[in-house]
Structures are given as C-alpha cells and as structure tokens.
Amino acid sequence: MRFCIDYRRLNAISIKDAFPLPRIDEIFDQLSDRMYYTKFCFKSGYFHVPLSKENCPKTAFSTRDNHYQFTFFSIRLENVALGSAYMLKDDFLG
C-alpha cells in the first residue's frame, strides 16, 4: 500500500539545501581508468534512511482508521534526495 501525502506546506517552510551533483561527463572521466565496476539499485533507498526523532511528527498523517508518522525518509519531502546523496558520499568517499 502506498500513501499519497501532500507535503507542500511542510516543504514550503523547509530550508532548501544545495548539494553539488556531479556532471555525467565528470563521472565517466573518473571511471575511465577503473578495472572493476558495480551498480547499486536505490529504488527504495529513501525508505531505509531513518529520520531524526524530532522530525518524525512533521510527517504525520491520518487515515480513517489511525494516525501515523514516518520514521524513515519519505518520498516527496524536501531535501530527501540530497540527504541520500550526502549519505552515499560519506559511505563511499569517507
């Protein structure tokens, strides 16, 4: 089951972050002399990155049956993609 949550109000007051994404030609230049390659699938990667406890209530939503809040990144939240990029950079580059 997927929920469709409108985060426009939360995103409007979120502080926008800027993370310099590499250009594709720069990536190819860095990979050109490598012997081994691998690939990763980050299709559902957002849902594996925990939110801080103080931010969980900001993601709260209700259904007719209950009240919920995310404890992990949720797609459509401002800066989620950038937060994932920061984590990958730290994991792979230290």
pLDDT tens by residue, 52-81: 899 899 999 998 999 999 998 887 788 777
Output the pLDDT for position 93.
65
Query: 5 with 74: CB under 8 angstroms?
Result: yes
Share of the chain above pLDDT 70, in %: 81
Query: Contacts for 60-64 with beta carbons within 8 Å, 24 or more apart?
Result: 61/3, 61/5
Output the pLDDT for position 44.
64
What token pair was written down for 13? 């007051």
pLDDT per residue as tens digits for the range 44-53: 666 678 888 9
| CB hemisphere CA count around 52 (13 angstroms) | 3
Query: Contacts for 34-39 with beta carbons within 8 Å, 24 or more apart?
Result: none
Domain ranges for the chain, please list them: 39-93
CA 75 to chain centre: 7
Output the pLDDT for position 53.
94
